[in-house]
Amino acid sequence: MANRDLHLTRNIGIMAHIDAGKTTTSERILFYTGKTHKIGEVHDGAATMDWMAQEQERGITITSAATTCNWNWNNKNFKINLIDTPGHVDFTAEVERSLRVLDGAVATYSAADGVQPQSETVWRQADKYNVPRIGYVNKMDRSGADFFETVQQMKDILGANPVVLQVPIGAEENFKGVVDLIKMKAILWHDETMGAEYSMEEIPADMKDECDEWRGKLLEAAAEYDEAIMEKYFDDPESITEEEIIAAIRKGTVAMECTPMICGSSYKNKGVQPLLDSVCAFLPSPLDTEAVIGTNPDTDEEESRKPSEDAPTSALAFKIATDPYMGRLVFFRVYSGKVQAGSYVFNTRSGKKERISRLFQMNSNKEIPMESIDAGDIGAGVGFKDIRTGDTLCDEANPIVLESMSFPDTVISIAVEPKSQADIAKLDNGLAKLAEEDPTFTVRTDEQSGQTIISGMGELHLDIIIDRLKREFKVECNQGKPQVNYKEAITKTVNLREVYKKQSGGRGKFADIIVNIGPVDEDFKEGGLQFVNEVKGGNVPKEFIPSVQKGFENAMKNGILGGYPMDSLKVVLQDGSFHPVDSDQLSFELAALNAYKNGCQKAAPVLMEPIMKLEVITPEENMGDVIGDLNKRRGQVEGMEEARSGARVVKAKVPLSEMFGYVTALRTITSGRATSSMEYDHHAPLSSSIAKAVLEEVKGRADLV
Ligand SMILES: Nc1nc2c(ncn2[C@@H]2O[C@H](COP(=O)(O)OP(=O)(O)OP(=O)(O)O)[C@@H](O)[C@H]2O)c(=O)[nH]1
């Protein structure tokens, strides 16, 4: 196959708040790009992007699947890899994982709801991963739809620099199309059926002034990114060409300095073709992104890889899915070189070579076999034996580790056991597979009770895992009460000397250390152990210092109050002594362990619980009840704002342990008229009386039902 021009590839995702229309828009994109021939409506659960059964039942999108399609723009054939990203915060890691491999995104809003809380979260995540965006204001047909209000909110709430490219023609049930401010033409859809074509017409006379004004603003914005436009803008604005405007806005978009804004109604099949045009026109190709940076594991030095097929291979596995027919399917992005079917790749984490038996590019309902996936492209492979999300695949001769992905700690745990004892092996196997797919989900065995404990990012996250165990692995589970993941910390600094000494015939053990143990410095943000060595004159020989550090690091896995992990700790090793024969590494490790236990007892230890950031959108008349209920849950209301529709937005910080079943409770209080969204914020100390009750309660085995 002839090498493709990478300028014509777009790796994009649609990011949106739940219900803004991501699935519907993806469906329409696949329809208009000619890949699916039937439109799967979300209402009837036939959406092809939502593969998994329970997603269809719940009507939300959980996994991200990469789907390939083609679109003609400007007489050129573009290849678009569409990555479906989830909108629910319980699946933040899925969103971040897909953002990591995207070159650009379509930030989608509901014209009736504007910029919603989770849109803000996803927007910031996209900033973090440097993903340029265009904005698509969907649902222009809904009552209360307001394109310009949403544009204004993008400035006010997100601090974005939106550039309006279209003016809607009509709104709500009269939404007919848009005026394209680059072409200065009206685009009209004459019916609302799938596949509806549009016609280009003159701008309606009554909109002419409004459109001239917005065209002026567009030219001003374009002039920011192109000197030539700037000059023409003052001398002869008529002479500014379409190509010049597109090139200038593209430059601003790729540099993440502006966000082109368009609108439509995916459901009513209006606006989707211009949306695809905008993806091709403004979003970056793999060549627009700087070379990917990684680390050479042999030298620990930074290396960069350009998106060229001739460079050594580097690829990042960003999604592992268990497909009922094909088995384990690994989605990856190739950054440089190429990955070929039937060939070997080197996994820098496992240190093993893996043979990829077959390669595919996925369409929503069928897979296209590929000979190779080349630099800049996204594909899926089968045949991997040992692979995890985030692994780098490369040439063995040119090893590289691409920036590893960081995932938040889990906040909630549940004890599980199979209903039938005969299913124990099936449960273990299922949990291991699910943990491989999802780095924000972990499994462990509780040392004291022997129970299997699963942990994740929220109640819904774990519900889905248990549901998948039943459907995909055919294991029914009993489960315990959800428990939040506590941590421990100390609040005072203490100084102590710890001598570890054993004489049991033959060679003994000896280590002596003097340490300060206390809370970490304020600027030490990463958590874990802040270790400072102040030993002078070899009183503790150099070779034993790492043992002291290791001793504390290991000890921190178990706090002294309830065995929860110690969040962070500062240890200053001030002095000590050793014995020329009896001292060894283990002695110093054990001395550190004892110092940790004895020191932390005296350093005012506290139990810490996860605190969530909560936003509730409620009608004004229910606000008192919502706030009253939050107070009962130890919540702290931090602000109240007026939402667009006249509803109120209540912002609060609430302990997660008080929030189990909140969605149902909120429904009851407000007769189903309020919505909420919640995400992890930080861990904070519990009052000593509550901490005592928690420690009493969590002792021993959890009862499973
Ligand atoms: N009126 C109207 N409804 C729409 C439009 N687009 C989507 N919807 C409806 O809005 C609801 C949510 O749409 P989805 O496409 O499932 O939204 P989503 O963002 O994928 O939602 P999640 O998968 O839950 O994150 C569905 O009932 C859609 O039919 C639109 O343009 N106009």
* Each residue's pLDDT tens digit, 496-530: 999 999 887 778 899 999 999 999 998 887 778 99
User: Sorting pLDDT into bands at 50, 70 and 90, what band is 57?
Assistant: very low
* 171 CA → ligand 1 middle, Å: 17
19 marked as part of a ligand binding site? yes
Which residue puts its alpha carbon closest to atom 2 of ligand 1? 139
- Contact criterion met (CB below 8 Å) for 412 and 457: yes
User: Sorting pLDDT into bands at 50, 70 and 90, what band is 89?
Assistant: low
The H or E element containing residue 419 is none
Which residue puts its alpha carbon closest to atom 8 of ligand 1? 21
In angstroms, the CA 474 to CA 420 distance is 11
Mean per-residue pLDDT, 686-691 = 89
Burial class of residue 292, CB neighbours in 10 A (0-12, 13-18, 19+):
buried
pLDDT for 87 equals 55
Higher pLDDT, 6 or 34: 6
Could you tell which of 26, 31, 42 is best to mutate to test the pocket of ligand 1, judged by most ligand atoms within 8 Å of the CB? 42
Mean per-residue pLDDT, 308-334 = 86
pLDDT for 58 equals 40
- Nearest atom (ligand 1) to Cα of 55: 23
pLDDT for 531 equals 96
Determine whether the shortest distance from the Cβ of 17 to ligand 1 is under 6 A: no
* 17 CA → ligand 1 middle, Å: 10
In angstroms, the CA 607 to CA 93 distance is 26
* 150 CA → ligand 1 middle, Å: 17
User: Sorting pLDDT into bands at 50, 70 and 90, what band is 280?
Assistant: very high
pLDDT for 19 equals 80
User: Highest mean pLDDT: which of 458-467, 570-579, 669-678?
Assistant: 570-579
Q: Calculate Rg over the CA atoms of the chain.
A: 29
- Nearest atom (ligand 1) to Cα of 24: 15
Altogether, the residues listed in the chain come to a count of 705
- Contact criterion met (CB below 8 Å) for 559 and 683: no
* 41 CA → ligand 1 middle, Å: 9
Residue 354: partners with Cβ closer than 8 Å, 6 or more residues away: 344, 345, 346, 347, 383, 384, 385, 386, 387, 393
Beta strand 509-518 with 494-502 is antiparallel
Number of other CB atoms surrounding residue 33 within 10 Å: 22
Residue 632 has pLDDT above 90, yes or no: yes
CA nearest 180: which of 218, 222, 151? 218
User: Sorting pLDDT into bands at 50, 70 and 90, what band is 319?
Assistant: confident
Mean per-residue pLDDT, 598-617 = 92
pLDDT for 9 equals 96
84 marked as part of a ligand binding site? yes
337 marked as part of a ligand binding site? no
18 marked as part of a ligand binding site? yes
* 415 CA → ligand 1 middle, Å: 35
514 marked as part of a ligand binding site? no
pLDDT for 599 equals 96
pLDDT for 674 equals 81
Mean per-residue pLDDT, 490-497 = 96
Q: How far is CA 246 from the centre of its chain?
A: 31
* 477 CA → ligand 1 middle, Å: 33
- Nearest atom (ligand 1) to Cα of 142: 1
Residue 295 has pLDDT above 80, yes or no: yes
Residue 594 has pLDDT above 90, yes or no: yes
The H or E element containing residue 677 is strand 675-685
Determine whether the shortest distance from the Cβ of 28 to ligand 1 is under 6 A: no
Residue 38 has pLDDT above 50, yes or no: no
155 marked as part of a ligand binding site? no
Residue 14 has pLDDT above 70, yes or no: yes
pLDDT for 370 equals 94
pTM for the structure as a whole: 0.71
Determine whether the shortest distance from the Cβ of 267 to ligand 1 is under 6 A: yes
Determine whether the shortest distance from the Cβ of 87 to ligand 1 is under 6 A: yes
209 marked as part of a ligand binding site? no
The H or E element containing residue 158 is helix 147-158
Residue 535 has pLDDT above 60, yes or no: yes
In angstroms, the CA 109 to CA 115 distance is 6
* 578 CA → ligand 1 middle, Å: 69
User: Sorting pLDDT into bands at 50, 70 and 90, what band is 656?
Assistant: very high
pLDDT for 62 equals 33
Percentage of the chain modeled with pLDDT above 70: 90
Residue 605 has pLDDT above 60, yes or no: yes
338 marked as part of a ligand binding site? no
22 marked as part of a ligand binding site? yes
User: Sorting pLDDT into bands at 50, 70 and 90, what band is 407?
Assistant: low
CA nearest 349: which of 316, 304, 397, 312? 316
Residue 86 has pLDDT above 70, yes or no: no
Mean per-residue pLDDT, 82-106 = 75
Residue 404 has pLDDT above 70, yes or no: no
Q: Which of 118-122, 242-246, 567-571 has the lowest mean pLDDT?
A: 118-122
- Nearest atom (ligand 1) to Cα of 20: 19
pLDDT for 61 equals 37
pLDDT for 26 equals 87
Determine whether the shortest distance from the Cβ of 677 to ligand 1 is under 6 A: no
Mean per-residue pLDDT, 639-663 = 84
Determine whether the shortest distance from the Cβ of 266 to ligand 1 is under 6 A: yes
**Phi and psi at residue 195, to the nearest 5°:** 80, 5
16 marked as part of a ligand binding site? yes
User: Sorting pLDDT into bands at 50, 70 and 90, what band is 366?
Assistant: low
pLDDT for 698 equals 67
Determine whether the shortest distance from the Cβ of 64 to ligand 1 is under 6 A: no
pLDDT tens, residue by residue, 98-138: 788 999 999 999 999 888 766 777 787 788 788 999 999 99
Which parts of 117-263 are beta strand (E)? 133-138, 162-164, 166-169, 177-180, 185-189, 198-201, 259-263
* 192 CA → ligand 1 middle, Å: 16
* 19 CA → ligand 1 middle, Å: 5
* 478 CA → ligand 1 middle, Å: 34
Residue 491 has pLDDT above 90, yes or no: yes
Could you tell which of 15, 18, 19 is best to mutate to test the pocket of ligand 1, judged by most ligand atoms within 8 Å of the CB? 19
* 138 CA → ligand 1 middle, Å: 9
582 marked as part of a ligand binding site? no
User: Sorting pLDDT into bands at 50, 70 and 90, what band is 394?
Assistant: very high
* 384 CA → ligand 1 middle, Å: 36
Which residue puts its alpha carbon closest to atom 13 of ligand 1? 21
Determine whether the shortest distance from the Cβ of 141 to ligand 1 is under 6 A: yes
Mean per-residue pLDDT, 319-336 = 83
Determine whether the shortest distance from the Cβ of 16 to ligand 1 is under 6 A: yes
pLDDT tens, residue by residue, 141-169: 999 999 999 999 999 888 899 999 999 99
pLDDT for 119 equals 72
Mean per-residue pLDDT, 544-567 = 93
User: Sorting pLDDT into bands at 50, 70 and 90, what band is 697?
Assistant: confident
Percentage of the chain modeled with pLDDT above 90: 55
In angstroms, the CA 152 to CA 139 distance is 17
In angstroms, the CA 447 to CA 510 distance is 30
Residue 603 has pLDDT above 80, yes or no: yes
Grouping H, G, I as helix, E, B as strand and the rest as coil, residue 17 is coil
Task: Output the average pLDDT for the chain.
Answer: 87
* 110 CA → ligand 1 middle, Å: 9
